[in-house]
A and B are shown apart, each in its own frame.
Chain A
Amino acid sequence: MMGSCPSVKNILVLDSEGKRVAVKYYSDEWPSVSSKLAFEKSVFVKTQKTSARTEAEVVMFDGYIIVYKFIQDLHFFVTGGDEENELILASVLQGFSDAVGLLLRNNVDKRTALENLDLIFLCLDEVVDGGIVLETDANLIAEKVSGHGLEGAGSFTEQTISQALATAREHFARSLLK
């Protein structure tokens, strides 16, 4: 039976103006790029006025259920069909957004995301595979992604020294730019 396996239709990361940062579609319902853009626009417009900072919010339109969350200036959306269990979608959203937070070292804003777009896409890949939920634990996702990108550099959580160096470098660069 088609709907037996919980499936995700798409995951979107939009910026504060509704433009794409990273998106991945797992279903054929938006065949052309223009239809995808139209969908993203309508989703953004509908959720603009609400505030989904502390808790994930949910909205339903057009036969889709969309669970979303705003972190700083990025908007995360997870879409499913209207027969889907909303809590499954919420757990996918949670896993994905927390993993992104871990990977970007808690600087979840548009600039950092664009600089680390490859990490974000790897993250998207590790969360949902072709619509089927692959993993919802943020730590595991982040581990898988970093194990991927940094060859043989060991698990992410062990990189404390390099992490500290990187953070220091960033602070330094920022203070220079000011």
Chain B
Amino acid sequence: MVYLIIKELSPSSDEVFIVTSSLMKDMNSKTDMYRANAIRVLCRIIDGNLLTQIERYLKQAIVDKNPVVSSAALVSGIHLLQANPEIVKRWSNEVQEAVQSRAALVQFHGLALLHQTRQNDRLAVSKLVSSLTRGSVRSPLAQCLLIRYTSQVIRESSTNTQNGDRPFFDYLESCLRHKAEMVILEAARKITEMDVTSRELAPAITVLQLFLSSSKPVLRFAAVRTLNKVAITRPLAVTNCNVDLETLMSDQNRSIATLAITTLLKTGNESSVDRLMKQITSFMSDIADEFKIVVVEAIRSLCLKFPLKYRSMMIFLSNSLREEGGFEYKKAIVDAIVTLISAIPDAKEIGLLHLCEFIEDCEFTYLSSQILHFLGNEGPRTSDPSRYIRYIYNRVILENSTVRASAVSTLAKFGALVEGLKPRIFVLLRRCLFDTDDEVRDRATLYLQTLNGEVAVGNTEKDVNEFLFGSFDVPLANLEASLRTYEPSEEPFDISLVSREAKSQPLQDKKAPGKKPPAGVPPPAPVSAVDAYQKMLSSIAEFSGFGRLFKSSEPVELTEAETEYAVNVVKHIYESHVVLQYNCTNTIPEQLLQDVTVYVDATDAEEFSEVCLKSLKTLAYDSPGQIFVAFEKPGRVPATCKFSNVLKFTVKEVDTSSGEVDDDGVEDEYQIEDLEIVSADYMLRVAVSNFRNAWENMDPESERVDEYGLGVRESLAEAVSAVTSILGMQPCEGTEVVPSNARSHVCLLSGVFIGDVKVLVRLSFGLSGPKEVAMKLAVRSDDPEVSDKIHEIVASG
């Protein structure tokens, strides 16, 4: 009992030694229990130095006859591995012996420890696996471990050889017939996760099917979960189990039932869909909200797979909308309906009507606004838009102010896009002018005046619509930051100065707390940095004539870490100039640098000619300074070149204690790395929210299509990221993420080229043959020349 308390209290290293001596005595005592516990406690509380002292005892303990003692020592070894890996690795001989031992759990712990120490050495792991698969493994736990390691080896070996021989695959298959259920389950799971042919997959699926009808809920649950995962990638393999899955739908355990339904939804074919829908309707009333959301998502993907069946699914979704449910649930349903409407043109009329009926008594403001906005986009394009006006106008009369404001916007959209309805809409909008809420009145006035033509906005009606309803291409976060820094003055706020760079939000995984740290808010630093650069550069007289700053790159390190002078450079691109800003830091306290300049060798770059150079008067210890070098280049041409740089300065000794500076200094040079200006520097990463719309809106004349072979690449994901970085454009709609095991991928990129030319790129990648990647590139932009240039960049990259 005392041992428990010591473990819980975990004393600090000063107090520890009081306890350690008695614990060390215990380690050699006769009673094995004390030895085991003493070992475990000691290993919890000591640090590296003390560990070497007791190492001898630990090694003895590992090979002790009593399995309790050796298990204790091995488990402590696993924990110590995190902190003191080298020490633990020295025990490998003893651990090897332990792995051969007869006691079941000792083998398990020994195997775990051995694997952890040899994790990074692939050859050692495969040797370990091969020796054990031939030998006998006693405990089921050890078997499971072995299965996991085996599948790891198979996975790693198959990345090298295409038609990888599966040396250990037979072992996995034999495990399917093992006595212990956990071994069978583990083996089946690992087989399904690997890339196997259908024939090899079949025995695993049969085994899982047997589990489905077991009496133990845990088994059923495990089997259904695994089948669910398989169904995502290989629905055909799971169809045999459909009958069992249908019986599971009425299982007592609700998780099992939901998983069974979602699996059925994934594997169903067109004929069974109707039957499934009927069964699901009766099922939905039983289950809790979060299960319902899962089912709705599954129905959505099913409908996208079978577009012809949209009618029954629409009915189902709209019925679910009418029932009781929480916000998340209703939101999921609305999203599903919206997706169906966008994907299946036939479903539009029905879907919109259902949504209209829903907003009649929807209690969630957010959903009502979302639906009204969506109605505004889609409604005018239908055959009879006037049908929806009644629903929308009712919102204006009945609901709260947020919803009223959205309804006014929607009415205006209808009026703008549908000529015939304009006069009627005006009548309705005029009534809104008397509303109690400011926002509603403002919007009504705005729309009335601009649509009536009373206030001139642009020349044509198209301009008006663009102004009122066009998408806002400035990210909100940047706009907010710029507005904050804007001080009221004579100059109006210039929205074009707001940076359009959107920081890509890292995807937040649901498993975040356990596996990865949650990706918080994107750092606001880049936004302010760009604005700061703009301010700083425009304050320098020589550069103010260059015009608007197009793009500033990220700082590029030109020296390695821990050198005497740390230099990084930021490239600022203007229309016909390039300014290189060298940020220098002096890390030597005894030196003071004066008259610091950078000599840039531009002999390789014919198109660039140096215009001016701003040097730094002094560079003291630990205070960074900037040196600017400006180059002129032909306008709008994405010139690429390499610059070699040498830092030149006069160095003076400084007495660190008194701070006095020596009078005479020595001239010196410091070579730093070369700098390349690449075509990606001329491209701003700008995301587009709706790629398809933007693509349609671009001039098809400017489209250029070509095919390239990219040669042998590590993986599809690697090829995608390589091309994206060469072009320097922003991936849209999450297409930069390539699902593993994908044989082809489409990536959508957007950006703004120098000269403010919008560019959109559609890349299709395919794996042809082993590892050979072929790519088809389609470019559209505002300027056909730019499209050609993009192809040049890729061809040379």
Q: Which residues in A have some Cβ–Cβ distance to B below 8 Å?
A: 1, 4-6, 27, 29, 50, 55-61, 63, 67, 81-82, 85-88, 90-91, 118, 121-122, 125, 129-130, 132-136, 144, 147-149, 152
Contacts of B290 in A (CB 8 A): 61
3 shortest interchain CB distances as A-B pairs:
A87-B182, A86-B222, A58-B221
Q: Which residue of B lies closest to A55 (CB)?
A: B216
Known: A67-B218, A148-B37. A4 touches B115 (CB 8 A): yes
Known: A4-B148, A82-B511, A121-B4. A88 touches B141 (CB 8 A): yes
Contacts of A61 in B (CB 8 A): 290
Q: Determine if B145 and A5 form an interchain contact, defined as CB atoms under 8 angstroms apart.
A: yes
Complex alpha-carbon distance, A88 and B219, angstroms: 11
Q: Which stretch in B71-79, B301-309, B723-731 binds the other chain? A: B71-79
Q: How far is the CB of B211 from chain A (nearest CB, A)?
A: 10
Complex alpha-carbon distance, A89 and B501, angstroms: 48
Complex alpha-carbon distance, A87 and B4, angstroms: 28
Contacts of A29 in B (CB 8 A): 513-514
Contacts of B219 in A (CB 8 A): 87
Known: A5-B145, A50-B252. A86 touches B218 (CB 8 A): yes
Q: Determine if B116 and A5 form an interchain contact, defined as CB atoms under 8 angstroms apart.
A: yes
Whether a CB of chain A sits under 8 angstroms from the CB of B1 is yes
Known: A5-B116, A86-B185. 20 other contacts (CB 8 A): A1-B152, A4-B116, A5-B115, A29-B514, A55-B217, A55-B218, A57-B253, A58-B253, A63-B511, A81-B514, A87-B186, A90-B218, A121-B4, A122-B4, A130-B79, A132-B75, A134-B71, A134-B105, A148-B1, A149-B1
Known: A5-B145, A129-B75. A87 touches B511 (CB 8 A): no
Q: Determine if A58 and B182 form an interchain contact, defined as CB atoms under 8 angstroms apart.
A: no
Complex alpha-carbon distance, A122 and B3, angstroms: 10
Q: Determine if B252 and A85 form an interchain contact, defined as CB atoms under 8 angstroms apart.
A: no
Known: A6-B141, A81-B514, A86-B222. A132 touches B112 (CB 8 A): yes
Q: Which residue of A lies closest to B74 (CB)?
A: A132
Q: Say what secondary structure dominates the interface of chain B.
A: helix
Known: A5-B145, A82-B511. A87 touches B71 (CB 8 A): no
Q: Determine if B253 and A59 form an interchain contact, defined as CB atoms under 8 angstroms apart.
A: yes
Q: Which residue of B lies closest to A90 (CB)?
A: B218
Known: A29-B514, A90-B218. A85 touches B144 (CB 8 A): yes
Q: How far is the CB of A13 from chain B (nearest CB, A)?
A: 16
Contacts of B109 in A (CB 8 A): 132
Complex alpha-carbon distance, A88 and B210, angstroms: 19
Known: A1-B152, A87-B182. A129 touches B514 (CB 8 A): no
Q: Determine if B510 and A56 form an interchain contact, defined as CB atoms under 8 angstroms apart.
A: no
Q: Determine if A4 and B152 form an interchain contact, defined as CB atoms under 8 angstroms apart.
A: yes
Q: Which residue of A lies closest to B149 (CB)?
A: A4
Q: Which residue of B lies closest to A2 (CB)?
A: B515
Contact partner of A144 (CB less than 8 A), chosen from B33, B140, B148, is: B33
Contacts of A57 in B (CB 8 A): 217-218, 253
- The contact sample of 30 A-B pairs, CB cut-off 8 A, is A4-B116, A4-B149, A4-B152, A5-B78, A5-B145, A29-B514, A50-B253, A56-B218, A58-B218, A59-B253, A59-B255, A60-B221, A61-B290, A63-B514, A67-B218, A85-B189, A86-B185, A86-B218, A90-B182, A90-B218, A118-B1, A121-B4, A122-B1, A129-B79, A132-B79, A134-B105, A136-B141, A144-B33, A147-B33, A148-B37
Instruction: Identify which of residues 212-228 in chain B touch chain A, using a CB-to-CB cut-off of 8 Å.
Output: 215-219, 221-222, 225
Contact partner of B145 (CB less than 8 A), chosen from A4, A27, A81, A121, is: A4
Q: Determine if B71 and A60 form an interchain contact, defined as CB atoms under 8 angstroms apart.
A: no
Complex alpha-carbon distance, A148 and B1, angstroms: 7
Q: Which residues in B have some Cβ–Cβ distance to A below 8 Å?
A: 1, 4, 7, 31, 33, 37, 40, 68, 71-72, 75, 78-79, 105, 108-109, 112, 115-116, 119, 140-141, 144-145, 148-149, 152, 181-182, 185-186, 189, 215-219, 221-222, 225, 252-253, 255, 290, 510-511, 513-514
Complex alpha-carbon distance, A87 and B40, angstroms: 26
Contacts of A133 in B (CB 8 A): 108, 141
- Tally of A-B Cβ pairs under 8 angstroms: 109
Q: Determine if A148 and B112 form an interchain contact, defined as CB atoms under 8 angstroms apart.
A: no
Contacts of B144 in A (CB 8 A): 6, 85, 88
Contacts of A67 in B (CB 8 A): 218
Q: Determine if A125 and B71 form an interchain contact, defined as CB atoms under 8 angstroms apart.
A: no
Complex alpha-carbon distance, A104 and B64, angstroms: 31
Complex alpha-carbon distance, A29 and B514, angstroms: 6
Contacts of B514 in A (CB 8 A): 27, 29, 63, 81
Q: How far is the CB of A52 from chain B (nearest CB, A)?
A: 8
Q: Which residue of A lies closest to B31 (CB)?
A: A152
Complex alpha-carbon distance, A86 and B181, angstroms: 11
Q: Which residue of A lies closest to B109 (CB)?
A: A132
In the complex, which of the residues A29, A86, A87, A134 has the most CB atoms of chain B within 10 Å of its own CB atom? A87
Q: Determine if B145 and A6 form an interchain contact, defined as CB atoms under 8 angstroms apart.
A: yes
Q: How far is the CB of B252 from chain A (nearest CB, A)?
A: 7
Contacts of A125 in B (CB 8 A): 4, 7
Contacts of A82 in B (CB 8 A): 511
Q: Determine if A132 and B78 form an interchain contact, defined as CB atoms under 8 angstroms apart.
A: yes
Complex alpha-carbon distance, A124 and B676, angstroms: 61
Contacts of A121 in B (CB 8 A): 4
Contacts of B149 in A (CB 8 A): 4
Q: Determine if A5 and B40 form an interchain contact, defined as CB atoms under 8 angstroms apart.
A: no
Q: Determine if B141 and A87 form an interchain contact, defined as CB atoms under 8 angstroms apart.
A: no
Complex alpha-carbon distance, A129 and B152, angstroms: 25
Complex alpha-carbon distance, A86 and B144, angstroms: 12
Contact partner of B185 (CB less than 8 A), chosen from A50, A85, A130, A148, is: A85
Complex alpha-carbon distance, A82 and B144, angstroms: 16
Complex alpha-carbon distance, A6 and B78, angstroms: 13
Contacts of A134 in B (CB 8 A): 71, 75, 105
Q: How far is the CB of A118 from chain B (nearest CB, A)?
A: 6
Q: How far is the CB of A119 from chain B (nearest CB, A)?
A: 10
Q: Determine if B68 and A144 form an interchain contact, defined as CB atoms under 8 angstroms apart.
A: yes
Complex alpha-carbon distance, A29 and B512, angstroms: 10
Q: Which residue of B lies closest to A133 (CB)?
A: B141
Contact partner of A63 (CB less than 8 A), chosen from B182, B218, B510, is: B510
Q: Which residue of A lies closest to B7 (CB)?
A: A125
Complex alpha-carbon distance, A60 and B218, angstroms: 11
Q: Which residue of B lies closest to A89 (CB)?
A: B218
Contact partner of B216 (CB less than 8 A), chosen from A6, A50, A56, A130, is: A56
Q: Determine if A88 and B182 form an interchain contact, defined as CB atoms under 8 angstroms apart.
A: yes
Q: Which residue of B lies closest to A147 (CB)?
A: B33
Q: How far is the CB of B160 from chain A (nearest CB, A)?
A: 18
Q: How far is the CB of A15 from chain B (nearest CB, A)?
A: 22
Q: How far is the CB of B75 from chain A (nearest CB, A)?
A: 5
Complex alpha-carbon distance, A58 and B259, angstroms: 13
Q: How far is the CB of A3 from chain B (nearest CB, A)?
A: 8
Q: Determine if B75 and A85 form an interchain contact, defined as CB atoms under 8 angstroms apart.
A: no
Q: How far is the CB of A154 from chain B (nearest CB, A)?
A: 12
Known: A136-B141, A147-B33. A58 touches B119 (CB 8 A): no
In the complex, which of the residues B108, B145, B221 has the most CB atoms of chain A within 10 Å of its own CB atom? B221
